[in-house]
Structures are given as structure tokens and as C-alpha cells.
Amino acid sequence: MPLGTLDGTPPPLFRQGPSALSKLLFFSVLALFLMVADTRLRMTQPVRAVVATVLYPVQWLALRPVLWARGSSAYFESLSTAKANEAAARTELGRQSQRANQVEQLALENLRLRQLLGLRERLGTTSQAAQVLYDAADPYAKKVIIDQGAAQQIEAGSPVLDENGVLGQVTRVYPLVSEVTLITDRDHAIPVLNTRSGVRGLAFGDASSRAGGLELRFMDTNADVQVGDLLTTSGVDGVYPPGLPVARVLKVERRVDSAFARIVCTPLGLVSGASHVMVLKALAVPTGPRPEASAPTPATRPGGRR
């Protein structure tokens, strides 16, 4: 082989370029220059914009799994939170509804108690408030149990009324509770006075009325009683103070085959729904002094001698 054809350049493995120190200094100076140029002159801003535009699709694809994972976790978390909030809202709504019902009931009780206090001031008699506990166990009797008894100085025969009118009379007294017989009981009778005509009568509990009414018995067919008349206590029995509202005439039937009219009345007091009542002190029946029998005159003997 001729010598002229041989390549005198060393192979790449043995080529020697700039030293490593020279390369370090060069790239250090270049980096420092680029930083200063970027800070002061903003020369690399276009390059950054181009690189960011080129790499944006890659970044978008790389972030999709992360965003999907975050979205799914947030979805399930928001769903569970929404269900918990719904359950809490339903519970709070139930509580608010219960409170609203209690407020209405308390407002009604407050109104009735205020009316009872006003009635107590108008009557001017000794009285005390009581609460109805429950109805008596006998379904054929119209009786209720109140929370005042002998310990609270309740006496048998005491009138019982609410803010609308007379309810009944205390018939049995126990140490802590008392039994009140309502005016609608079939065995109860109360003397009444017609405030329009002044006619007196006797009102009995109407056992035939399912709703609980009164019947004005033993009234003549020509008695001056009309529908809508107000009946109040007459006070002749010495139990009920006079002037207490009792009932209002609902129906008057004048039959030719009977000497008495059938007069149906509706009680003014809440005989089936009273919760707070007022117990008046039993009135004493006024009685006058008994006439004393005069001493017999001694028999006169014949002849004028005794």
C-alpha cells in the first residue's frame, strides 16, 4: 500500500479537544451571561415562550391522570358531604317543626292562662289554678282528674271552670289529685239562668249526645227560651257563684204530645279539651236561723185554776 494513501489523523478515540477545566469555565461564563442577559435584557423570553408552547401538550397529557384522580376523589367526597348535610338538615328541620308546634301550643296555653287570670280578677273569690292530668277510666262518665288534692286544700263540691265557662264540680278529693265531674255527665245537674228572659231552669248532662251536651229539662212548652240564649249560673244552689257562663241554647223542640219542651244546649267551657282550669272555693249554702217552737201554755184547770 503506498504511504501517501494513509490518513495521518489520529482516530476519534485518541482525539484531544479542550480540557475539562476549559469547558467548565466556558459554560460557566455562558451560564452567567445568559442569566445576566435574561435578568437585564430579557433576551431569553422568546425562547422560553417557544419552549413553553412546544411542551404544553406534553404537560397537559401528563397532568390528566392527576386531575382525574383529584376530581374523582373530590366528587365522592362532595357526594358524601352532601348526603351528610342533607341528613343534618332533615334532622334540624324536624327539630324546628317540633319547636314550632311547641311554640304554638305554649302560646295557646299562655293565652288561656291569661284569660283565667283575668277571670279570677273579675270573680274576686278565692281560687287556685290546676292542670288536667287525664280523663277518668270510666267511659260512660264524664270526669277528669286534676293535679290538686287535699294537700292543696281542695274541697269536695268546689266549682271548676276554664276561661270560657263552667266545666264541672269537684266530687272526690284525694291527697294529691281530685276528681272533677263535668257538667256534661248524665248524673250532673246545675241551676242556670237565661240572661235574656230571666227564666230559671235546671241543666242536666245529655247522655244521648256523643259530643257532650246539656239538656234544659222540665221547661214548659211556652217558656221564653230561644236559640242562642246564654245560660249562666243562677247561684240558688249555693255551690256555683251567680253569673258564670254555662251554655248556649242550641235547639228548642216544642212538642204537642208533651208538656215540656226539649231544649238542647252546648257548653261554653272546653269540656273535652281543657288543659288548665281554675278551682273556686266551695260556697256555703246560706241558711237562716231555725224558728224556735214556742213553749206550750199550761193547761188551765176548770174554774180558772192552773
For residue 68, the model assigns a pLDDT of: 84
Q: Give the count of domains, the chain.
A: 2
- The strand pairing partners of 200, in sequence order, are 193
Q: Is the domain of 171 the same as that of 276?
A: yes
Q: For residue 221, how many other CB atoms are within 10 A of its CB?
A: 14
Q: What is the CA radius of gyration of the chain?
A: 52
Q: Is the domain of 116 the same as that of 35?
A: yes
Predicted confidence (pLDDT) per residue in 189-227, tens digit: 999 999 999 999 999 998 676 667 899 988 988 889 999
Q: Is the domain of 94 the same as that of 131?
A: no
**Residue with more model confidence, 28 or 79:** 28
Predicted confidence (pLDDT) per residue in 168-189, tens digit: 999 999 999 999 999 999 889 9
Q: Is the domain of 151 the same as that of 46?
A: no
With vertex at residue 115, the alpha carbon angle to CA 112 and CA 119, rounded to the nearest 5 degrees, is 135
Predicted confidence (pLDDT) per residue in 100-146, tens digit: 766 666 666 666 666 666 666 666 677 888 989 988 877 778 899 99
In a domain, 294, yes or no: no
Are residues 234 and 191 in contact, defined by beta-carbon separation less than 8 angstroms? yes
Question: Where are the alpha helices (H) located in the chain, listed in sequence order?
Answer: 20-36, 45-123
Kindly report whether the global pTM for this prediction surpasses the value 0.75.
no
Say which CATH number the domain at 174 has.
2.40.10.340
- Residue 15 reports pLDDT greater than 70: no
How many residues does the structure list for the chain?
306
Range of the domain at 28: 22-124
Q: Is the domain of 137 the same as that of 256?
A: yes
Q: How far is CA 210 from CA 132, 136, 231, 273, 283, in A?
A: 21, 17, 21, 15, 32
Q: Is the domain of 107 the same as that of 137?
A: no
